[in-house]
Amino acid sequence: MTTFSLLVTAWAWEPSVWIGGLVLLLAYAGALHFQLNSAAWWFIAGVGLMVWALIGPLDVLGDGYLFSAHMLQHLVLILAVAPCLLLGLPQASRQALMRWSWTRRIEQMLGRPLLAWSLHTGTVWLWHLPVLYEAALRHEAIHIVQHLTFLITAVIFWWPLFAPNGPLRRSSLLALLYLFGSALASSVLGIILTFATVNLYPTYLYPRDPLHILPLLRVRWGLSSALDQQMGGLFMWVVGGLVYLLAMMGALARWYSGPADTTSARPTNRINREGVSDAA
How would residue 263 be classed by pLDDT, with cut points 50, 70 and 90? very low
As a whole number of angstroms, the distance between CA 73 and CA 62 comes to: 8
pLDDT of residue 274: 45
As a whole number of angstroms, the distance between CA 172 and CA 174 comes to: 5
For residues 27-59, one letter each, b for 16 or more C-beta atoms within 10 angstroms of the residue's C-beta and e for the rest, the string is ebeebbeeeeeeebebbbbbbebbbbbbbbbbb
83 closest CA partner among 47, 36, 131: 47
How would residue 276 be classed by pLDDT, with cut points 50, 70 and 90? very low
pLDDT of residue 118: 95
**pLDDT tens string 160-213:** 888 767 777 777 888 899 999 999 999 999 999 999 988 899 999 888 888 889
**pLDDT tens string 79-138:** 999 999 998 887 666 666 667 766 677 777 777 889 999 999 999 999 999 999 999 999
Classify 45 as helix, strand or coil.
helix
Q: Judge whether residue 24 has pLDDT over 60.
A: yes
As a whole number of angstroms, the distance between CA 266 and CA 138 comes to: 65
> Phi, psi (5° rounding) for residue 271?
-95, 125
Q: Judge whether residue 277 has pLDDT over 70.
A: no
- Let me know: does 272 contact 278? Beta carbons within 8 Å: yes
- Let me know: does 198 contact 205? Beta carbons within 8 Å: yes
Q: Judge whether residue 235 has pLDDT over 80.
A: yes
The listed range with the strongest mean pLDDT (87-96, 167-176, 220-229, 269-278) is: 220-229
Q: Judge whether residue 267 has pLDDT over 50.
A: no
- Taking the CA atoms of 27, 31, 36 and 41 in sequence, report the sign of the dihedral they define: negative
As a whole number of angstroms, the distance between CA 134 and CA 201 comes to: 7
**pLDDT tens string 32-87:** 766 777 788 899 999 999 999 999 999 999 998 999 999 999 999 999 999 999 98
Q: Which residue type, as a one-letter code, is found at position 161?
A: L
- Let me know: does 30 contact 92? Beta carbons within 8 Å: no
pLDDT of residue 259: 55
- According to DSSP, residue 162 is labeled H
pTM of the model: 0.84
Q: Judge whether residue 260 has pLDDT over 60.
A: no
- Let me know: does 58 contact 6? Beta carbons within 8 Å: no
Alpha carbon separation from 105 to 25, 89, 202 (Å, rounded): 26, 19, 43
Q: Which residue type, as a one-letter code, is found at position 120?
A: H
Q: Judge whether residue 154 has pLDDT over 90.
A: yes
Strand partners, 271: 277
pLDDT of residue 30: 81
